[in-house]
Amino acid sequence: MSRTTADPDSARHEVQAILASGVFTASSRQARLLEYLFDKVLQGKTDDLKEYTIAVELFQKPKTFDQHSDATVRVEAHRLRKKLQKYYETAGQDHNLRVVLPPGQYVLEFVHVIPGPEPTGAVFSAGRRINGNLVFALGESRWLVRARRKLVLAGGAVILVAVACIWLYSGRQVRPAVARPAAAAPQAARDPIPDPEPDAIRILAGHTGEPYIDRSGRRWQADRYFEGGTVREVKHPVARTGRPQLFRRVREGTCRYRIPLPPRDYELRLYLTDPDGPEAERPPQRRFRIMTVAANGRQLMAPYELEAEAGQSGDIRAFAPVRPGSRGVLDLFFWSARGPAAVSAIEILPMTGGRTRPVRITAQPQPYEDNQGRVWLPDDYYSGGKLGGYEAMITGGSDPGIYSGERIGDFEYYIPVPAGKYQVTLYFAEGWWGLPEFGGAAGTRIFDVLLNYETVLKAFDMLREAPPRQLVARTFRQVGPDRYGKIHLTFASRTDYASLRAIEVLPEK
């Protein structure tokens, strides 16, 4: 194997092209792994690329990490190989330089593929620094050598079979072979989004068949444990939610759900919407629907006016703690004081230490798992505004990927929480104004923030608080839900549009 000095710019350009291609849209861990492995190559520290080192340095595992009981690194490396394969089957299929992570290894190789009938297997394998230069070993990767051996053996076998066939069928008329189209290459399977709360019970009213997986990775089971009521389709668009599919049907009328549960404390969330269209289209008996919900005989909320409180939006009400009865069943009873009751979905989450679960939202269309293993849900519970059209690399904070997107405009959030006190943290960063290519300075973007209808940030100016793309966090303590069971946030523009990157809601200790 000969050695040659190589300029790493082409390798860096290829890695950046992969990261920017969108192949890692819902796979932040694999994107971080690719960047980490490439940095080690640039630094000439490939001898450090062991499973333990990657687990501790990149995935923030404790120093007591045991690779025999925790397969995180192996799983993410396998997924990275699949992502690279998918990239070079689609967007990168014409690239001459390709990034390869050989099976069973953590050292990247850069394969130079020359188009033509005889593709070469030249590889710039993991580098070292010699006299200040980045040096790559030029040769063949082990997986290409193995592949070549298999081809040689297979070719020999084909020749032997051909000779035997000629000997057996010599003298007979042989029909010309008909060319068959090559079978399409199988598509690389998309890595499933992990359920952020795999121990939860979720029931989707009226749903049948296989579980439905929403865009945050949550699994919703088919309708079950019910008595009474009928299923009805919701035909109008459902507003104020990033998951309108959860409100496409309702179980309507007086009904109950008897859900078996182990004895412990739970958080209960009810998903509600009015299945009727505009008021002009409703018969009189369906106007002013008023319903009540009880859990094991205890009323959960005051009479609920479905049209006024939910209307044609998705409304979520949260309650905690809720416990099953003496027979190990949570008995949810929906009945009406006027017009039929209706429920779209039921979600039950076990509580830990008597506390409800945190709510973490990133202003992005896909969930994001940060470097501490916490899942930030894709943008939800909003009304108004829109997601920004480009990503920004934000400095500061625990993980810049959390804050790379933004919601801009005039908008609100209605975050459902059980009764109690919460710590609410809002994350901002100016990703446009103040950069050399866009200009602007303090005073370019100014807006107000209201929390439960009270102004908590007045004339907030991000460029007065921090330089461009620097994270700014504002935390508010002892916040309770409003009368509708929500933490209600309002972002009102003054100069240019209001902007927000993430929200974190933690139950107070």
Residue 130 sits in the same domain as residue 264: no
Domain end among 109, 143, 177: 143
Going along 42-153, which residue ranges are E strands? 97-100, 109-112, 122-124, 128-130, 133-140
- Give me the domain span that covers residue 381: 359-507
Residue 9 sits in the same domain as residue 122: yes
- Whether 380 maps to a domain, the answer reads yes
Give SS3 for 307. helix
What CATH number did the domain enclosing 439 receive? 2.60.120.430
Rounded mean pLDDT, 298-323 = 92
Q: Which has more pLDDT, 405 or 191?
A: 405
Q: How confident is the model over 452-496, as pLDDT tens digits?
A: 999 999 999 999 999 999 999 999 999 999 999 999 999 999 999
Residue 315 sits in the same domain as residue 376: no
- Please write down the HEC assignment for all residues of 95-111: CCEEEECCCCCCCCEEE
Residue 376 sits in the same domain as residue 395: yes
Rounded mean pLDDT, 281-287 = 64
Residue 249 sits in the same domain as residue 364: no
Residue 416 sits in the same domain as residue 293: no
Distance CA 428, CA 253 (A): 44
Q: In Å, how far are 184, 383, 385, 408, 497 from 388, measured between CA atoms? A: 37, 15, 9, 6, 11
Q: Which has more pLDDT, 282 or 298?
A: 298
The band of 193, judged by pLDDT with boundaries at 50, 70 and 90, is low
What is the predicted pLDDT for the residue at 25?
59
Distance CA 401, CA 391 (A): 9
Residue 338 sits in the same domain as residue 446: no
Distance CA 59, CA 33 (A): 9
Q: What average pLDDT does the chain have?
A: 81
- Whether 331 maps to a domain, the answer reads yes
Residue 135 sits in the same domain as residue 257: no
- Whether 186 maps to a domain, the answer reads no
Distance CA 200, CA 381 (A): 20
Give SS3 for 136. strand
Distance CA 293, CA 315 (A): 15
- Whether 35 maps to a domain, the answer reads yes
Residue 134 sits in the same domain as residue 220: no
The answer for residues whose C-beta is within 8 angstroms of residue 361's C-beta and 6 or more apart is 376, 377, 378, 379, 380, 381, 413, 415, 502, 503, 504
Distance CA 88, CA 214 (A): 28
Rounded mean pLDDT, 61-81 = 79
The answer for residues whose C-beta is within 8 angstroms of residue 350's C-beta and 6 or more apart is 199, 200, 264, 265, 266, 267
Residue 426 sits in the same domain as residue 503: yes
| Burial of 476 (C-beta count, 10 Å sphere; 0-12/13-18/19+) | middle
- Whether 172 maps to a domain, the answer reads no
14 pLDDT exceeds 80?
yes
What is the predicted pLDDT for the residue at 324?
96
What is the predicted pLDDT for the residue at 67?
73
What is the predicted pLDDT for the residue at 283?
66
Rounded mean pLDDT, 206-222 = 94
Rounded mean pLDDT, 422-427 = 98
The band of 181, judged by pLDDT with boundaries at 50, 70 and 90, is very low
Domain end among 127, 143, 159: 143
- Whether 184 maps to a domain, the answer reads no
Q: How confident is the model over 110-141, as pLDDT tens digits?
A: 887 754 443 344 444 444 333 333 434 333 33
Give SS3 for 500. strand
259 pLDDT exceeds 80?
yes
- Whether 157 maps to a domain, the answer reads no
267 pLDDT exceeds 90?
yes
Distance CA 348, CA 328 (A): 14
Residue 238 sits in the same domain as residue 346: yes
Residue 340 sits in the same domain as residue 431: no
**How many domains, the chain?**
3
Distance CA 60, CA 66 (A): 13
- Whether 400 maps to a domain, the answer reads yes
Distance CA 465, CA 472 (A): 7
Q: Which has more pLDDT, 352 or 158?
A: 352
Least confidently predicted of 34-48, 265-279, 373-387, 403-417: 34-48
- Based on its alpha-carbon atoms, the radius of gyration of the chain, rounded to whole angstroms, reads 29
Domain end among 297, 318, 350: 350
Least confidently predicted of 110-124, 290-304, 336-350, 468-482: 110-124
What is the predicted pLDDT for the residue at 282?
62
